[in-house]
Structure formats: C-alpha cells, structure tokens
Amino acid sequence: MEKQAELGPALPSPYHRFSRHEWAALRADTPLTLTMEDLARLQSIDDPISLEEVIAIYLPLSRLLALYVAATQGLFKATQRFLDAEDGKVPYIIGVGGSVAAGKSTLSRVMQALLSRWHNTPKVELVTTDGFLHDNAFLQREGLMDKKGFPESYDGAELLHFLSNIKAGQRHVPAPVYSHLTYDIVPGESVAVDRPDILIVEGLNVLLPNRAMKDGRAIPFVSDFFDFSIYLHAEEDDLEKWYVSRFMRLRQTAFRDPRSYFRKYAELSDTEAEAVARSIWQRINLANLRENILPTRPRADLILTKGPSHRIEQVELRKL
C-alpha cells in the first residue's frame, strides 16, 4: 500500500474492456456472410478459426469499422463541400500489428472478406509490410539476416512513399511482392492498389511510433497514416508453441519444395527440427517481440487478446 501511495493513484484506462460474451452482444443484427468454405480458404496454417469465432468477434468488429468508415466518408464529403473541391476519394487505412504466429494474416483476410460485404466499403484491399523488407542480398551485405522483421530490415522510405501516395488518393499505387517460399522479395513483381474504400496494412512493426529528430521535427512512420489500428496479442508461451507447430507442419509441406529457402530443414528429424524452430523463435522472433512489437500494443485503437486455444478472450477498444 505504501508503494502505491508513493506512485500516486492508478491512472484510468484509456480502453473500454469487454469479455468475449460482452463483445459478441455488440454484433446486433449484423448478418453472417462467410461460410465454412470461405474460412478454410482464408485461414493460415495452424491458425484455426471457427464460424463461432467469426460471429462472436469478427462480426461486431466489422460492424464497428463499417460505422467508423461511414463517419469518415461523411466528414470527407462535408470537407469537399466546404472547399468546393472535387478531390478523389481517400482510402480508410486499417493497421494490423502483432507478433509472428499471432494470427495477423488470418485476422486481416477475414476482416477483408467481411468488410467487402458492407454496402459502403465494397472494395477492400490488403497489403503486408513483408513486401517492403530489404531483399536478402542487402540484408546479408549489412549483416541483418538474423534481424529480418526488425525495424531496420525494412525499406522505410519506400513504405512511407507507398502510404503517402495511397493517402493522396493516387491510382494504381504499386506495392512490392514478397515470397514466403523463397524468403525474399520477388524481383520485378508488384501489386497495384487502386483507391480502395479500405486498405488493410498488416505487419509486425506497423504501430511503431515516430522517431524525433534533434531539431524537433518528427520523421513520419507507418502508423501516422492509419485511421484505425488493431493489435493481436497472445502470451509468449502460446506464441512459441504456435510458431513451433507451424514450423513442423511446413517441414512436411512447403519446406519440401526445391525452391524453398528452408529446404535444408525438410530432412531433419523431429527432434532436430523442433530444436531449430525453438532457436529461431528465441533468437529472432522473441527478441523482436520484446524489443519492438509488444511495446507498441498501447498505441492500438483495438487490442484483441487470444487464449491458448487461439480463441479471442478479451477485447479492448480505445475510448474516443
């Protein structure tokens, strides 16, 4: 008690907190527009998701975001009328962050599918920041291969240029393509983002704050361009378990492809492969989580917390 007195009264939380049951009730009459076949196509390896999870968590979230986007669209139109302007529409950008193996890709794809079924957001596109990693040749030259996924492994200037063009309402903005098979950027390939209603940007470090310069200016970063941000949280032990499980499954599938960067792991024994997976997790992914990713959680507008079974057990929504 004395220590608490020294620290002063606890600050009120900036979040509304909901149990799974409380959040599910906010679905209201939002219809379920996905099927089991849709979910099977959208989920990632070792990231199970059920229709019950979609109903309880993702439908209320899609309803909330549809309301937010509609409000933003209304504000944009009001500003156009005030300025007597004829500017093109500006996409609403949603950032999705969290650790390796947390399930960001599944969350992003499911939300893309749900949001594209709302009448005011029929065009929803998804980009991952993997495409903005430096290529392996650069990372090897700079001694950063064991820092892949850390902030310094990305081409920040190119990513900022991409997001600036998106927010400027430009047409056919190219985004580079990353291959998880070759573990590298695909030379000469890109996807064009053409003024969607919503753009989802998914990546490990998307919620990193600005870096201040000595002269007081701020260098813009990815999160500056977001209209809404989501952090997918899970405990370290669960994340490690999911990562190792995914590694072991890929060893029997994608790793066996001759083109795979991880082909060398395909013939390891189970014991050897698990040791490699745990080493990669500890040296790279866990270090990145602790140093860079987890500290950004309080910056998110929405925090989804998973339990050991991948079910989201708690939802925290930032107070406006």
Contact 204, 178 (CB under 8 A): no
| Cβ atoms of 206 and 229 closer than 8 Å | yes
**296 burial level (CB within 10 Å; 0-12, 13-18, 19+):** buried
In angstroms, what CA-CA distances link 261 with 64, 145, 266, 286, 312? Answer: 40, 13, 11, 21, 33
d(CA 32, CA 68): 20
Helices and strands, counts by H and E, the chain: 11, 11
Chain-centroid distance, C-alpha 29:
27
Q: How many CB atoms lie within 10 A of CB 221?
A: 19
Helix (H, G, I), strand (E, B) or coil at 204: coil
Q: How many CA atoms lie within 13 A of 91 on its CB side?
A: 31
Say which residues have a Cβ less than 8 Å from residue 280's Cβ, sequence separation at least 6: 247
- Per-residue burial over 46-69, b if 16 or more Cβ lie within 10 Å, else e, is bbebeeebbebbbbbbbbbbbebb
Q: Are 265 and 276 in contact (CB under 8 A)?
A: yes
Task: Report residue 130 as tokens.
Answer: 């993997």
Phi, psi of 269, rounded to the nearest 5 degrees: -70, 165
DSSP states along 72-125: HHHHHHHHHHHHT--PPP--EEEEEEE-TTS-HHHHHHHHHHHHTTSTT---EE
Distance from chain centroid for Cα 243: 16
Please report the pLDDT score of residue 1 as a whole number: 45
Question: CA-CA distance, 229 to 301, in Å (whole number)?
Answer: 5
Rounded Cα distance, 304 and 20, in Å: 10
| Helix ranges (DSSP H) in the chain | 2-7, 20-24, 36-42, 51-53, 59-83, 104-115, 136-141, 156-167, 236-251, 270-280, 286-288
Instruction: Find, among 183, 126, 172, 114, the residue nearest to 149 by Cα.
Output: 183
| Closest to 123 (Cα-Cα) out of 95, 91, 75, 168 | 91
Nearest Cα to Cα of residue 93 among 124, 135, 139, 136: 124
pLDDT of residue 2: 47
The H or E element spanning position 132 is none
**What pLDDT, on the 0 to 100 scale, is given for residue 7?**
57
Residue ranges of domains in the chain, CATH in brackets: 14-77+89-318 (3.40.50.300)
Per-residue pLDDT of the chain (320 residues; tens, 9 = 90+): 444 455 567 778 999 999 999 999 999 999 898 888 888 888 876 778 889 999 999 999 999 999 999 999 899 888 888 988 876 778 999 999 999 999 999 999 999 999 999 988 899 999 999 999 999 999 999 999 999 999 999 999 999 999 999 999 999 999 999 999 999 999 999 999 999 999 999 999 999 986 655 555 667 789 999 999 999 999 999 999 999 999 999 998 899 999 999 999 999 999 999 999 999 999 999 999 999 999 999 999 999 999 999 999 999 999 98
